[in-house]
Structure 1
Amino acid sequence: MELLAEFLTSDFLGKSAWLWFAFLGVVGALLAFDLGILHKQDKELGVGESLILSAFYIAIALVFGTWVWWSMGPTSGMEYFTGYALEKALSIDNVFVISLIFGYFAIPAKYQYRALLWGILAVLVLRGIMIGLGAALVQQYEWVLYIFGAFLIATGIKMLVMGESEQDVSKNPIVRFLSKRMRVSAELHGSHFFVRKLDPETGKLARFATPLFLALVVINIADLVFAVDSVPAIFAITTDTYIVFTANIMAILGLRALYFALAAMVHRFEYLKYALAIVLVFIGAKIFWNQIVGKVDPAISLGVTLSIIAGGVIFSLWKTRAAATDEAASHALTAPLPDSIGKRSSTRPAGED
């Protein structure tokens, strides 16, 4: 018992080991509850259910942030909330790419949530590795923060000036590599990632990957690419590895739930990417300010970040309100008539209006 107590209280990346195990335990419990109870059977997740589940994850993230504030101090609390808001906003940008991937592989909605949820397990490992490497670099070579800052400013300016290029999943090198190196079935097999079936070339049973597995791999590669922006951005807010990791993972957990609501209205957030670009420039510039002049008050950083993101969301919704109204009107005009109206019409005498 003494050895266990000593291990749990030992320092790991700046925090006691039990804090890391406690957080991973919370994440594991949420995944088990979500996958094993809420979505034990494959089904399409509606927009309403998506919003409710997302509100649940946001509430968990806010409760955790409140605990960080109470146990680690206001500075750590504000850094967590700033990092969470930033990572959440940056993660929203993933939705368009994820929807493209599912569309390319023709994955029905009822299988998408399970693939997204299993993808979290890989993201936990990938983000953990990237954050661990980033923390080691910052601790050993503090000047790396200047590189992070310059990278964020350059990325933000590029997003403002050039926008974002269209993604073509069929040209993705990972898709091409896996398609050539693995046996891939042409059709889905429910929620299975692998199946055993007759190989038409050999006539023997062989293991085939399904399109759902390829979609899962490509989604996680996309997560890794997006992490190249998000990890330096949150290290610009705080170098506390625990805050960086927990804010990242909490934002990702919530995104999976919110995906189905956002995917249906992603076109309404057309201008959010410009707000995110401004946030990246602000965070990058803040690194240089912190190192040369003095550390910016975390409350100011949180306020500016939330204001820019909220402004981008509100402006996007306002600018696209006409398109949303036209879409709703078009949907109403093309919607099928109720059965009762159709039946009344079909029983009228010929020639009657």
Structure 2
Amino acid sequence: MDVSTTTWALTIVGLCALIAVDFFIGGRKPHEVSIKEAGIWTIVWVVLAILFGIGLYAVGEGRAASEFAAGYITEKSLSVDNLFVFVLIMAKFAVPTIYQQRVLMIGVLIALVMRAIFIAAGAALISAFSWVFFIFGGFLIWTAWKLVREARAEAAGHEEEAYEENRLLKMVERRFPSTSQYHGTKLFVVENGKRLMTPMLIVMLAIGSTDLLFALDSIPAIFGLTQDPYIVFTANAFALMGLRQLYFLIGGLLKRLVHLSYGLSIILGFIGVKLVLHALHEQGVHVPEISTPVSLAVICGVLVVTTITSLRASRKLLREEEQAAPRD
């Protein structure tokens, strides 16, 4: 897809305008986000993504529209898995409910900027070295196997419940003194003549840096579906920008998606194989390549099956717990 500088500029301005509207309408004043509010905004962001895909198709970019749909669904699915960690972060830092939506908004904005840098770097590598697809593909297959191992450990009751801070966050906490209490949405306060960080800034950095680590999986995954930087960026942007509302909408349902890790491992492994086949094709080896419609069908099919089996398993586990509970 040939995208002009003007189109890039208009897209970025449009996305910034949508983020501003989201902030001034739903995120400027700290408050506890209701299910109704989260549901409305989630629908708004999904509809906007659909309209963007339709717009691509309307201007004659049918292939780009298919790639955007596959990329958006994949990124959205991976972001749901990220919400598990976000819940742990909020619990660890004891973030008051009324401030959680502000934390998520700033954290997601940090992640969006950093992902744009990752996407630019990935696009440059791909355009210069076709063998990078081997690295991306192998990394995704390894990540898929890692997800399966983690899912098995969780099923066996050996999962690690605590959130562990990454090195960047630990370094920030060591070098910059902070307060022990929240001061509204302030990031810095002055106490006894000293400028101190608040837990609000620390948890924002935790959300942003953690999502950046997740990008190591998602960016290679979407490059396995499309090598168009414009599609990669817009799919990531639309998937991330609705993440805050999705956190509040399905927060209580996350524990019921017990098979999500297995589904994501299948998707990442599938895309990894697709990348390896594409890399071989780029090297002149005659191998079959997986088309975008097939990729989209596989991704949607895996997510549907995973959701159904997860809900059935959750209901079965709930019945067993009710039967095992002592009766008065």
Q: What is the TM-score when the length of structure 1 is the normalising length? A: 0.83
Check conservation: 2:112, 2:240, Cα contact below 8 A.
no
Are 1:232 and 2:238 an aligned pair? Answer: no
Which of 97, 105, 121 in structure 2 is aligned with 1:133?
121
> Is residue 141–residue 273 contact of structure 2 (8 Å, CA) maintained in 1?
yes
Question: 1:327 and 1:131 mapped to 2: Cα distance?
Answer: 46
Cα contact 2:258–2:310 (8 A) shared by 1: yes
1:350 match? none
> Judging changes above 3 Å, is the alpha-carbon distance between structure 1 residues 17 and 324 closer, same or farther for their aligned structure 2 residues?
farther
Question: Is the CA contact (8 Å cut-off) linking 1:31 and 1:117 kept in structure 2?
Answer: no
Aligned to 2:326: none
Query: How far is 1:61 from its partner?
Result: 0.6
> For 2:254, which of 266, 273, 280 is the aligned residue?
266
Cα deviation code 1:238-260 (max 9, x no counterpart): 10000011001110111111111
Say whether 1:177 aligns with 2:165: no
Q: Is the 8 A contact 2:133 2:275 kept in 1?
A: yes
Q: Is 1:188 the counterpart of 2:182 in the alignment?
A: yes
After superposition, where does 1:55-134 map in structure 2 within 5 Å? 55-134=43-122
Q: Which amino acid aligns with 2:31?
A: K
Contact 1:152 1:281 in 2 (8 A): yes
Q: Between 160-169 and 22-31, report the one with greater CA deviation.
A: 160-169
What is the CA–CA distance in structure 2 between the aligned matches of 1:206 and 1:126, rounded to whole Å? Answer: 31
CA spacing shift, 1:171–1:116, aligned 2, 3 Å: closer
Helix, strand or coil for the counterpart of 1:216? helix
RMSD: 2.2
Larger radius of gyration: 1
The answer to which of 114-123 and 128-137 deviates more is: 114-123
CA distance in 2, matches of 1:210, 1:225: 23
Q: Secondary structure at the match of 2:195?
A: strand
Q: How far apart are the structure 1 equivalents of 2:322 and 2:114? A: 40
The aligned residue for residue 19 of structure 2 is 31
User: For residue 303 of structure 2, what is the aligned residue in structure 1?
Assistant: 309
CA distance in 2, matches of 1:167, 1:225: 18
Deviating more after overlay: 290-299 vs 59-68: 290-299
In the alignment, is the contact (CA less than 8 A) between 1:95 and 1:259 conserved in 2?
A: yes
**Aligned pair partner of 1:246 in 217, 229, 234:** 234
State the secondary structure of the residue aligned to 2:242: helix
Q: One-letter code of the match for 1:187?
A: Q
2:276 matched residue in structure 1: 288
SS of match in other structure, 1:207: strand
SS of 2:219's equivalent? helix
Measure the CA separation in 2 of the matches of 1:324 and 1:249.
36
Normalised TM-score (structure 2) = 0.89
Gaps of 5+ in 2: 154-158, 324-328
Structure 1 stretches lacking a partner, 5+ long: 1-12, 199-204, 330-353
> Does the aligned pair in 2 maintain the 1:14–1:241 contact within 8 Å?
no
Aligned-partner SS, 1:169:
coil
Alpha-carbon spacing, 1:66–1:168, altered in 2? closer, same or farther (3 Å):
same
- How far did residue 17 of structure 1 move? 1.1
